[in-house]
Amino acid sequence: MDYQDNSAGRSRKARGRPRDWNDKTAQNTIKSLDRAMEVFEFLSEAQGKPLTVIADEMGQSPSTVYRILVTLEGRGLVEFDSQEQVWHVGARAFVIGARFLRRTSLVERARPIMRKLMEETGETANLGIEKEGSVLFLSQVETHATIRAFFPPGTLSPLHASGIGKALLAYMDEERLERVLATADLQSFTERTITDTHTLRADLNAIHTRGYSIDNEEKNSGMRCIAAPVFDLNREAVAGVSVSGPTSRVSLEEIDRLSRAVMGAAQELTNAIGGTVPAR
* pLDDT reading at 26 higher than 70: no
User: Is 11 a residue whose pLDDT tops 70?
Assistant: no
SS3 content of the chain, % helix, strand, coil (to 5): 45, 20, 35
Domain 3-94 and domain 104-272 have a common topology: no
For residue 193, the model assigns a pLDDT of 97
The residues facing 65 across adjacent strands are: none
| Phi, psi for 223 (deg, rounded to 5) | -120, 140
Domain limits, the chain: 3-94, 104-272
Can you tell me the distance from the alpha carbon of 58 to that of 37, in angstroms, rounded to the nearest whole number? 12
What band does 145 get if pLDDT is binned at 50, 70 and 90? Answer: confident
The Cα 186–Cα 172 span in angstroms is 17
Mean pLDDT of the chain: 87
Q: How many helices (H) and strands (E) does the chain have?
A: 9, 10
Question: Topology of 3-94 in CATH?
Answer: Arc Repressor Mutant, subunit A (1.10.10)
- pLDDT of res. 94: 80
- Of 84-88, 130-134, 220-224, 236-240, the one with minimum mean pLDDT is 130-134
Q: What is the pLDDT of residues 90-108, one digit of tens each?
A: 988 888 876 765 555 788 8
> Is the pLDDT confidence value at 5 over 80?
no
Q: Residue 82: is its pLDDT beyond 60? A: yes
Query: What is the helix (H) or strand (E) element at residue 121, kind and residue range?
Result: helix 105-121
Average pLDDT over residues 252-256: 96
**What's the pLDDT score for residue 225?**
97
Which candidate, 226, 221, 152, 151, places its Cα nearest to that of 188?
Answer: 221
Is the CATH number 3.30.450.40 carried by domain 104-272?
A: yes
Indicate whether 151 pLDDT > 80: no
User: What pLDDT, on the 0 to 100 scale, is given for residue 280?
Assistant: 67
